[in-house]
Structure 1
Amino acid sequence: MVFQIRKNERKIFEVISKAAAELGYPTYVVGGYVRDRLLARPSKDLDIVCVGSGIELAKKVGNALHPRSRVTVYKRFGTAALKHRDLEIEFVGARKESYRSDSRKPTVESGTLSDDQNRRDFTINALAISLSEHDYGTIIDPFNGLEDLEAKRIVTPLEPGKTFSDDPLRMMRGVRFAAQLGFKVDRLTLIGMRDHAHRLKIISWERIATEMNKLLLSPKPSVGLKLMSDTKLMDYVLPELTALKGVESRNGRKHKDNFLHTLQVVDQLAEKSNDLWLRWAALLHDIGKARTKRWENGTGWTFHAHDAVGANMVPKIFRRLRLPNDKLKYVQKIVALHQRPISLTQEEISDSALRRILFDAGDDIDDLMTLCESDITSKNPNKVTRYLQNYGALRARMTELEEKDQLRNWQPPITGEYIMETFGIKPSREVGKIKEAVREAILDGDIPNEFEAARAKMIETAAALELFPVT
Structure 2
Amino acid sequence: MNLENKLDQFEVIRKVGACADELGLEAYVVGGFVRDLLLKRPSKDIDFVCVGSGIKLAKKVAASFDQQVPLSVFKNFGTAMIKLEDWELEFVGARKESYRQDSRKPIVEDGTLKEDQERRDFTINAMAISINKESYGELVDPFDGVKDLKRKIIRTPLDPGVTFSDDPLRMLRAVRFATQLKFDIEPETFEGLTDYAERLKIISGERIIDEINKIVMAEQPSYGFKLLFVSKLLHQFFPEMVALQGVDSVGDKSHKDNFYHTLQVLDNIVPTTKSLWLRWAAIMHDIAKPATKRFNAKAGWTFHGHEDKGARMTPKIFRRLKLPMDERMKYVQKLVRLHLRPIALVNEKVTDSAIRRLLYEAGDDIEDLMKLCRADVTSKNPNKVKRFLANFDKVEDKIQEVEEKDHIRNFQPPVSGEEIMEEFGIPPSKMVGELKEEIKEAILEGKIENNKEQAIELMYKIAAEKGITKKD
Q: Structure 1 length as normaliser, TM-score?
A: 0.97
- Distance (whole Å) between structure 1 residues aligned to residue 274 and residue 403 of structure 2: 26
With 330-339 and 3-12 compared, the bigger mean Cα shift is at 3-12
Q: Aligned pair in 2 of structure 1 residues 166, 9: CA closer, same or farther (>3 Å)? A: farther
Residue 460 of structure 2 corresponds to 459
8 Å Cα contact 2:123-2:156 kept in structure 1:
yes
Equivalent position SS for 2:350 = coil
- Distance (whole Å) between structure 2 residues aligned to residue 380 and residue 49 of structure 1: 55
Structure 1 segment 155-170 matched on structure 2, within 5 A:
155-170=155-170
Equivalent position SS for 2:196 = helix
8 Å Cα contact 1:229-1:242 kept in structure 2:
yes
**CA offset at residue 460 of structure 1?**
3.1
Residue 192 of structure 1 corresponds to 192
**CA offset at residue 429 of structure 1?**
2.4
Residue 341 of structure 2 corresponds to 340
8 Å Cα contact 1:430-1:465 kept in structure 2:
no
**CA offset at residue 288 of structure 1?**
0.8
8 Å Cα contact 2:2-2:138 kept in structure 1:
no
Q: What letter is aligned with 1:404?
A: K
**CA offset at residue 323 of structure 1?**
1.4
Paired-residue identity, %: 55
8 Å Cα contact 2:4-2:137 kept in structure 1:
no
Residue 444 of structure 1 corresponds to 445
Residue 270 of structure 2 corresponds to 270
Deviations 1:162-202 (A, max 9, x none): 11111111111111111111001111111111111111111
Q: What letter is aligned with 1:407?
A: I
Q: Aligned pair in 2 of structure 1 residues 109, 461: CA closer, same or farther (>3 Å)? A: farther
Q: Aligned pair in 2 of structure 1 residues 17, 386: CA closer, same or farther (>3 Å)? A: same
Deviations 1:292-330 (A, max 9, x none): 000011110000111111111110111112212231110
Q: Aligned pair in 2 of structure 1 residues 178, 68: CA closer, same or farther (>3 Å)? A: same
**CA offset at residue 465 of structure 1?**
4.2
- Distance (whole Å) between structure 2 residues aligned to residue 103 and residue 424 of structure 1: 66
RMSD: 1.7
Residue 312 of structure 1 corresponds to 312
- Distance (whole Å) between structure 1 residues aligned to residue 102 and residue 126 of structure 2: 26
8 Å Cα contact 1:30-1:128 kept in structure 2:
yes
Q: Aligned pair in 2 of structure 1 residues 428, 117: CA closer, same or farther (>3 Å)? A: farther
8 Å Cα contact 2:28-2:130 kept in structure 1:
yes
Unaligned stretches of 5+ residues in structure 1: none
8 Å Cα contact 1:95-1:112 kept in structure 2:
yes
8 Å Cα contact 2:6-2:37 kept in structure 1:
no
Deviations 1:71-95 (A, max 9, x none): 0111221111111111111111111
- Distance (whole Å) between structure 1 residues aligned to residue 247 and residue 311 of structure 2: 23
Q: Structure 2 length as normaliser, TM-score?
A: 0.96
- Distance (whole Å) between structure 2 residues aligned to residue 57 and residue 117 of structure 1: 19
Equivalent position SS for 2:10 = helix
Q: Aligned pair in 2 of structure 1 residues 375, 112: CA closer, same or farther (>3 Å)? A: same
Q: Aligned pair in 2 of structure 1 residues 212, 18: CA closer, same or farther (>3 Å)? A: same
8 Å Cα contact 1:284-1:310 kept in structure 2:
yes
**CA offset at residue 9 of structure 1?**
5.1
Q: Aligned pair in 2 of structure 1 residues 4, 383: CA closer, same or farther (>3 Å)? A: farther
Deviations 1:224-258 (A, max 9, x none): 10011011111122111100000111011111100
Q: What letter is aligned with 1:73?
A: V
Deviations 1:87-142 (A, max 9, x none): 11111111111111111211111111111111111111111111112211111111
Equivalent position SS for 2:15 = helix
Residue 469 of structure 1 corresponds to 470
Q: What letter is aligned with 1:125?
A: N
Equivalent position SS for 1:440 = helix
Residue 399 of structure 2 corresponds to 398
Residue 130 of structure 1 corresponds to 130
8 Å Cα contact 2:58-2:91 kept in structure 1:
yes
Unaligned stretches of 5+ residues in structure 2: none
